[in-house]
Amino acid sequence: MILFERESLMKPINLQHRITDLLFIATIVCLSFYFTYAAVQGQYGLFNNLEFTLRNTELEQELNRLTRKTIIIEEKVYRLSNQYLDLDLLDEQARKILGMARADEIILP
């Protein structure tokens, strides 16, 4: 009985088992590399996440700038409307658009 156990322990490993083990390890390594690459470089990876965050910040700044510009334009339109007529602004815009300012005049926006 003891001889039988020793013989079974000393048997060489079958070549097919070695190939299967190597294929399994190679598959695990390849999958690990793939998922690591996808986590860093993929569509929803770390680098794209940082890029989206920066683009979002840029677009929010652009939105704030355009909102301020829109408010200024709306204020000028209101000041030139029928409900409220600012004669100084009207004179400024007319001179600016028609080019009727004299050489010694400075038009401030």
Residue 80: phi, psi to the nearest 5? Answer: -100, 5
Q: Higher-confidence residue: 19 or 106?
A: 19
CA–CA dist 7, 1 (Å, integer): 10
pLDDT tens-digit map of 25-41: 999 999 999 999 999 88
Residue whose pair of structure tokens reads 């677009």 in the numeric block = 59
Backbone torsions φ then ψ of 85, nearest 5 degrees: -110, 115
The per-residue pLDDT for range 67-88, each reduced to its tens digit, is 999 999 998 888 887 788 777 7
pTM of the model: 0.52
* Side-chain half-sphere CA neighbours of 22 within 13 A: 6
Rounded Cα distance between 30 and 67, Å, is: 50
Domain ranges of the chain: 15-42+55-98
